[in-house]
Structure 1
Amino acid sequence: MANHIHRPPYYAGTEFADLSKHDGGLLHAVGASNYQVLRANRSRPEEADGFGNTYNHAPMLTYWRGCFYLEYLSNPVSEHTGAGQSFIVKSKDGMTWDKPRVSFPVIRVPAGEYQCADGTTVEVPEGTFAFMHQRMGFYHTKDDRLIVSGFYGHAPHHDICPWRNYGIGRVVREVFEDGAMGPVYFIRYLDYSGWTEDKLPFPYYKHAADKSFVAACEELLADRFVTEQWTEEHGPADTAIGLKIPKKEDGEGGTAPNTPFESASSFCWYHIDENTVAALWKQGKVGISRDGGVNWDIRYEPTFATSGAKSWGQKTEDGRFAICYDNSLSSEHRYPLVVVTSDDGIEFNDMACVFGELPPRRYEGIYKDFGPQYIRGICEGHKEYPAGAMWICHSINKEDIGVSRIPLPVRRSVDEHIHDTFEGCEDGYVKDWNIYSTKWSPVTLEKVNGETCLKIADQDPCDYARAMRIFPRSAKVSVVLEIMAARYEKDLEIELADKTGVPVCRVSLGGGWLKARYGSNTEKCCKVEPEPVWHTLEIRADCANNVYTVLWDSKVAKRYGFGRPVHKANDVERLILRTKPRRCLPNFEIYPDTPDMKNADEPETQRIYLIRSVSTKSLD
C-alpha cells in the first residue's frame, strides 16, 4: 500500500467550490439525484409532519429489509429551543416517502434543581420542554433487528448545547417491518447531570419485559464505534461508551472537548481493512487508526475545506471509497454538497457536485444556516445495502429534509453521445440524469399512451424542478428533445451549459410562445399551439463561432449570429430543463437571518411537462 496510508485521509485535488455559484462551478457527479423527504409547512401541517414545525434537521439514514428509513429531529421554529421531537420516515425506493411518524415525542422536563457531578446546580423552571439532539440514529443487531435512537436534552438559551449538565439521556425503541414501533426506553441517562430513574419520562431499558430487546440494547452498548457517536452528548464522565479518543483544547492529537461550537464533533468512520480505520469529524478534523481503533493519529486537514456541516465517508459497492461534505469554510453557507473519491481510502480526488441547489429559506429561525447539511449515509456492517448507488441524507436550510442518490462508480463526464428514451428505467431511477425533485416540484417517470416519459411538474411558489443530462463535452453539437406541454404563462427554461454551469444557449416555453435568449434580450421565435401535443425542439450550438440555431418541429425558428449566445464558452456539456429561472440568491454575501417568505405554504396551479426522448450528436 502507498506510503500515504500512514497519514489520515486528505484531498489531493486542486478544485474547490466558488460560493458565488450554488453548485460551486464544479463538475457534477453523473446521475446524482436529489429527492425531498419533507417540505416543511407551518400553516398547512397536513402537507408535512402534522405539527407545522419549521426547524427540521440532523437526519440519519439506514436501509433494512428492502426499505429506507430516515430519522430527523424537529423543533417548532429554531435550534435548541421549543418542544422538540424526532420523526421517522420510510420509503421503498428513496424517491417517494411516507408521512413522518413520531419516533420520540415531546416531553416536559420536571421542574426543580438538578445537582451535577461537577458541583453545578441546574435549575429547571416549570413548563420547560426538552428537545432532541442526536448524533446517531439507527442500529442493526446481529439477529437483524432495527433499533432507532435519539437524545433528549434541554437548555435555558439557544447558545447552550443540550448535553453534559443539560443532557437528560439517550432513548431507544425497536422498529418493526410493518412500520410499528416498540415502547420508548432510556438506554443511558446522565446521572452525573442529576438524573435518576424516578425522574425519567420513560423506563430504563433493563426493565423491559422483552428480554431479547434488553440483549439487543446490551449489544448496542458494547459496540464502541457506534457509541463513539454519543460521546459529544454524553460527555467524558460516561466511561462505558466510545473509543476513548483523546480530547484536547488545541493543536493536533485529539478532538476538541464537548463545548458549544466545538471544533470537532460528529464522529464518522469507515474501515479500510480489518485493522485500519479512518475517521472524520466536523471542521475538517480527520484521523487514522492502524490497530482497530485503539490508538489514533488525529489532525486538522486543511485540504478538506469544510466547516460545521458534518462529513460522511464510506467504502462503496465498487470497492472504492467516497467522502461527502459541504465544500465551504463558512458554517453559515453550507453548500455545495460534493463527493470526492479514492482507491485506497486515504488520498481523495475528483471533486464532483452532488447537490448544487440552494433554494430560498422560507422560514426565519435561529441558526438556520443555508444549504444542504449534516450529511449522513448508511453505516457499514449491515446485512444489505441498496444496489448500484451511494445514498446520503441531509437537511436543507435546516427546514426541509432530503436524500441524494449517487450512482456508482462516481463519474464526472460521459464519453458517448446520448440517445435517451425512458423505457429502460423500470426501477424508477432516471439513468444518468441529474434530478432535483421536491414534494411540490416532482420529477418522475410516467406512462403516456404506453410510452414511458420523463415528467417534470411544478406547483411550488418558492422552488423549482430541474432535470439535467450531461453529454460529451462539445464545441459544436445538436441537442434534440421531444416535448409535450399545455399552455402555461410561466416558462419552462431549457439551457445548454458548459462544465462550470455557465449558460450558453437558453430557450423557454411559456405564454404560448417559444422564446430564445440572446445576449441580454429574449425574443419570441414562434407561436406554440395550446393543445398538449408532441413537439420536437432542436438546439444547434457552435461555440467557436458564437452561433446557435433553434428548430421547432424541424423548422428553423431562430438563428442567432456572431456575439449572440447568452455567454461565451469553449464548449457545452449539459442540457438543463428547469421550471423557473435559474437563481443566484441567497449567496455567500447574505447572512442567514432572512424573514419568513410570504405565501410559501400554498401551492400554485400545477404545470406539467413531458419529455419522450433526448439525443445529442457532434456537428464537427
Structure 2
Amino acid sequence: MKVPLNPACFLLFTLLCGSGVRAQTGSPAEPVRYVGGETIDPNVHDGRLRYAIGVESRQTMRANRTHPELADGQGWTYNHGSNLCYWNNTFYQQYLSNPVDEHIAPGQTLVMTSKDGRQWSKPEVVFPPYVAPAGVKIPDKSKGYMMHQRMGFYSAPNGRLLVLAFYGHTEDPFGQGGIGRVVREVLKNGSYGPIYFIRYSSHTTVNGVKWDETNTSYPFYKKSQDTGFREACDALLADKLMTFQWWDEDRGVDDFYGGKEGQKALSYYHRKDGKVVALWKRSFSALSTDEGKTFSKPVKVPTLIMAGGKQWGQRTDDGRFAICYNPIDSDKYRYPLTIITGNDGILFDNLLIVQGEVPVRRFFGRWKDFGPCYMRGIEEGNGNPPGNDLWLSYSMNKEDIWISRIPTPVRYAVTGPVADRFDGLTLNGAVTDWNIYAPKWAPVSVVSTPDAGGKCLELTDKDAYDYARAIRVFKEGNRIETKLKIRASQNDSGTLEIDLTDRYGNRPVRLRFDEKGHIVATDGSAEKPVQRYKPGQWYELTFSVNATLAGHYDLSIDGKKVLEKAALAEAVQSIERLSLRTGPYRDLPNRKTPNEEPGPPLPGADEPVKAAVFHVDDVQIKAIK
C-alpha cells in the first residue's frame, strides 16, 4: 500500500537533499573546508594563536635606501611578490622591486640563492627595468613600465631551470596593459642565459598594438640556438597547470588557457585521489580531474577568511596537506601568517602561527600593506630540499624579504619535560623545537659557548627597529619550573626580555636584562630591579610559577631567591611558552595605524646601532607539584 506524500514534505525533502549534494565538501561546490574553531584576535600581531612548533623565520633581504650595498645594491624599498624553488642543491628566491611604490615604474626582478636557507647571497637583477625599442610609444594612460609575476621558476623535465617574470605598463599591467612574459635559463655555474620572451600578451593595447618580436626589446625564445633551452620552454608552455598561474595577467583571448575561468594568484596541489585543488586570493577554490586542462567554476570557500593576500597550498613531506594564508578580511593589514593542516587535502584543522611578528614599516610607499604576506612555497616539480620541511617565501610590509622553514608533521603541543643544552646541534644550523625570528641585523644562531666547551644559543641585535626572538613551547601546565642560563656580552646597551606566556601570548611572568646593567622583574604591575649583572658572566635563572587562580611565582638567580610569591602581571590559567626577545613587546602597527599616510623614512632606518649580544644555555622546563 502506498502512503501519499505530503507536497510540503516532499518539497522540503527535495531541498534538503539537493542542498546536501550541491554543498558536499570536497566537490566543486566546496573543494576545501577549514573545520577548526580557532579564529584570530585582530588586536595583537600573533592573533593569540598557538605556534606551529619549530618554525625558523629568517630575513633574506633587508631594504636599505641610503646604503644599498648592504641590501640589494639598488636602494629600492618596495620589495614584494617572492617565489621559491630548489634546484642543483640550491635555494633560489625571486622577488620584484620598485624604488618606492607598488605599480610605479621602474620595476625589476631579482634573485637570491642559498645552500642552506639561512645564509643568502646578495640579490642579483635577473630582469632589469624594461626599455622599449626606439620608436615604440608608451600607451597614453601608461606612466612607464613595471614587472608583475605570479610564478617565478620552472624546473623542466630535461633538467634545465627557467626563471620567469612579466613586463607590463604602469599602473595596470593586466590585459591591454601587458607586454609579455620573459624567460631566461639559470645555469649551474650561477650565471644566467639571455633574456627572451616566451609568451606575448594576447591582447592588443589601447592604441591597437599587437606585441611581437618587431616591437619588443628581447627576441622570442624560438630564436635561441640552445636546443635544450627551447625544449624546456616548450615543456613549460605545454604544462597547463604551471601556465595557469599566468592567467590573471593575460586572461588568454587567444584560448591559450582553453577557456578556463580563474582568479588571482593561483596555487595548486594534488590531493590523495589525484584531483587538483586550485586556490586563489579572496578564498576562491576549484577542482580539476584532468591535470589542469579544465577546472570547475571557482567558488568562494566560506570557512577560509582572507582578503587580497595570497594563499598557498601543498602536500607536505609527511604525506599530509597544508594551506598558509593571512586569516583576515582586510587588505591593508595582512597578519598574522598562519597554517592549517589536514590528512586528505579537503578538510583542514588547527589554525597555527607561522609568523606572528610585524615590525614597523621603515619606508612609506603606496599600497605597502602591514605584515607578512604573499606567501609562496615550492611548486610541485620545482624541487624538494633535504629534510621534511615546508619552506615558505614572503615579504614583510612589502619592504623586506623573508623565508620560513616549517617542520612537518606540523604540531602545536609538547609532551614531557624540556632539557635543551644545544651541544648536539650544528653550528649556525637549525634550533630543534624552537621558533626563531631572525632579521638580518638581529640574527639567532647556534654558536660555540664563549669561554667554555659545548654550544649555546646566541641572540644578537643591531637593528633599531626590530629584534631577535626565540620561543620554546613546552608542555602546558599551571605549575611549572623553568631554568635557563643567560650571559650578556655588555651591560650598557641593548636589552633581553624573558617572558613566560600562556597559549594566547599573555605574559604573566616578565624579566628584563636592561641597558643599565640591571635585572628587572615584574611583581604584578610593578617592576623591581632584583640585582645587577656583569658582562661576560653567566646567570642561572629559576622561575617557579603557580598559574592557578591566585597566581604567583618565585625567582631565584644562581640559587638565591630574589623574589617570593611575586604577583603575576596578568591572570592566566596555564603557561606553555618561554620567550626571549632583544627588544620590548610590541603591538604596533595595529588595525588602526594609517596605512596610506605619507611620511619620511624612520630616523636611522638604514644605520645599525651598537650590537648587543646575549647567550642562552641549559634550558630546563618541567611540571612541579
Q: Counterparts of 2:285 and 2:120 in 1: how far apart (Å)?
A: 34
Question: After superposition, what is the alpha-carbon deviation per residue over 1:101-147, rounded to whole angstroms, capped at 9, x for unaligned?
Answer: 01101122457677xxxxxx93378xx64211000100001122110
Displacement of 1:565 after TM fit?
Answer: 1.1
Q: Is the Cα–Cα contact under 8 Å of residues 441 and 463 in structure 1 kept in the other structure?
A: yes
Alpha-carbon distance in 1 for matches of 2:423, 2:532? 31
- 2:279 aligns with 280
- 1:134-533 to structure 2, matched below 5 A, reads 134-155=149-170, 160-190=171-201, 192-193=203-204, 194=209, 195-240=211-256, 242=257, 244-246=259-261, 255=262, 264-273=263-272, 275-293=274-292, 294-382=294-382, 384-426=384-426, 428-448=429-449, 449-486=452-489, 487-510=491-514, 511-528=516-533, 530-533=534-537
| Alpha-carbon shift at residue 488 of structure 1 (Å) | 3.2
What is the match of residue 599 of structure 1? Answer: 604
What residue identity is the alignment partner of 1:481?
L
Paired AA for residue 113 in structure 2 = K
Q: Name 1:31's counterpart in structure 2.
A: 54
8 Å Cα contact 2:241/2:291 also seen in 1: no
Q: Could you say which residue in structure 1 is the equivalent of 2:17?
A: none
- Asked if the contact 2:154/2:382 (under 8 Å) is kept, the reply is no
Which residue of structure 1 lines up, in the alignment, with residue 624 of structure 2? 619
The yes-or-no answer on 1:608 pairing with 2:619 is no
Letter in structure 2 aligned against 1:296: S
Partner AA of 2:156 in structure 1: T
Structure 1 position 331, deviation (Å)? 0.8
With over 3 angstroms needed to count, the CA separation of the structure-2 counterparts of 1:67 and 1:474, relative to structure 1, is same
SS at match of 1:463: coil
Give how far 1:547 is off. 1.0
The one-letter code of the counterpart of 1:39 is R
Q: Give 1:479's aligned amino acid.
A: T
Distance in 2 between residues matched to 1:148 and 1:488, nearest whole Å:
48
Residue deviations 1:524-561 (CA, integer Å, cap 9, x gap): 00121x23022211111111132111111111122244
Q: Evaluate the alpha carbon distance shift between residue 417 and residue 494 of structure 1 in structure 2; reply closer, same or farther with a 3 A threshold.
A: same
CA RMSD, 1 decimal: 1.8
Secondary structure of the equivalent of 2:26? helix
**CA-CA distance at 1:364 after TM superposition:** 0.5
AA matched with 1:413: A
- In structure 2, the residue matched to 1:93 is 116
SS at match of 2:122: coil
What is the aligned-residue identity percentage? Answer: 41
Contact 1:174 1:182 in 2 (8 A): yes
* Secondary structure class of the residue paired with 2:298: strand
Contact 2:202–2:250 under 8 Å retained in 1: no
User: Which secondary structure state, in structure 2, belongs to the residue aligned with residue 229 of structure 1?
Assistant: helix
SS class of match (1:5): coil
Q: C-alpha separation between the residues in 1 aligned to 2:492 and 2:460?
A: 12
User: What secondary structure is seen at the aligned counterpart in 2 of 1:213?
Assistant: helix
Asked whether 1:122 is paired with 2:122, we answer: no
Shift of 1:333: 0.6
Letter in 2 for 1:494: I
Match of 1:118 in 2: none
Distance 1:221 1:273 in 2: 26
2:554 maps to 1:538: no
CA shift for structure 1 position 387? 1.5
Q: Is the 8 A contact 1:339 1:351 kept in 2?
A: yes
Can you list the C-alpha shifts for 1:478-511, whole angstroms capped at 9, x where unaligned? 1111111121333210000000000010000122
Structure 1 position 590, deviation (Å): 1.6
Partner residue in 2 for 1:261: none
Change (3 A) 1:184 1:610: same
- 1: distance between equivalents of 2:399 and 2:473? 30
Q: Given that residues 484 and 617 in structure 2 are in contact (C-alpha distance below 8 angstroms), is that contact kept between their aligned partners in structure 1?
A: yes
CA distance in structure 2 between the partners assigned to 1:412 and 1:379 by the alignment: 25
Between the aligned partners of 1:177 and 1:150, the Cα distance in structure 2 is 20
Q: Which amino acid aligns with 1:556?
A: K
Tell me how far apart the structure 2 counterparts of residues 387 and 345 of structure 1 sit (CA, whole Å).
Answer: 21
* Whole-angstrom distance in 2 between the partners of 1:559 and 1:447: 35
Rg comparison, structure with higher value: 2
Q: Give the structure 2 partner of residue 4 of structure 1.
A: 25
- Given that 2:495 and 2:612 are in contact with CA atoms closer than 8 Å, whether structure 1 keeps it comes out as no
Alignment partner of 1:554 out of 559, 577, 598: 559
Give the partner amino acid of 1:459: K
| Code of the aligned partner of 1:457 | T
The alignment partner of 2:616 has SS state of strand
Q: CA deviation at 1:520?
A: 2.4
Distance in structure 2 (CA, Å) of the matches to 1:233 and 1:383: 25
In the TM superposition, what are the counterparts of 1:39-54 in structure 2 within 5 Å? 39-54=62-77
Please state how far the C-alpha of 1:41 moved relative to its aligned partner.
Answer: 0.5
Cα offset, 1:461, TM superposition? 0.7
- What is the alpha-carbon distance in structure 2 between the residues aligned to residue 236 and residue 17 of structure 1? 38
Normalising by structure 1, we get a TM-score of: 0.92
1:251 maps to which residue? none
SS of the aligned residue for 2:231 comes to helix
Q: Secondary structure at the match of 1:232?
A: helix
Q: Map of 1:67-78 to 2, 5 A cutoff?
A: 67-78=90-101
From 565, 569, 575, the equivalent of 1:566 is 569
- Contact kept? 2:86, 2:383, Cα under 8 Å: no
Contact 2:272–2:344 (Cα < 8 Å) also in 1 = no
Displacement of 1:245? 2.1
In 1, Cα distance between equivalents of 2:266 and 2:535 = 56
Q: What is residue 16 of structure 2 aligned with on the other side? A: none
Amino acid at match of 1:500: Y
Consecutive unaligned residues in structure 1, runs of 5 or more: 115-120, 247-254, 256-263
TM-score w.r.t. the length of structure 2 is: 0.91
Q: Work out whether residues 106 and 129 of structure 1, in 8 Å CA contact, stay in contact via their aligned partners in 2.
A: no
SS at 1:56's partner residue? strand
**Aligned counterparts of 2:296 and 2:258: Cα–Cα separation in 1:** 10
User: Which deviates further from its counterpart, 347-356 or 128-137?
Assistant: 128-137
Report the secondary structure of 2:167's partner residue: strand
Conserved? CA contact 1:137–1:149, under 8 Å:
yes
Deviations 1:380-409 (A, max 9, x none): 124533322101110000000001111100
Matches within 5 A, 1:573-588: 573-588=576-591
Separation of aligned partners in 1, 2:265 and 2:369: 17
Shift of 1:274: 6.1
For residues 19 and 415 of structure 1, the distance between their equivalents in structure 2, rounded to whole angstroms, comes to: 30
Q: Which amino acid aligns with 1:534?
A: W
CA pair 295-168 structure 1, distance change in 2 beyond 3 A? closer
Secondary structure of the structure 2 residue equivalent to 1:212: helix
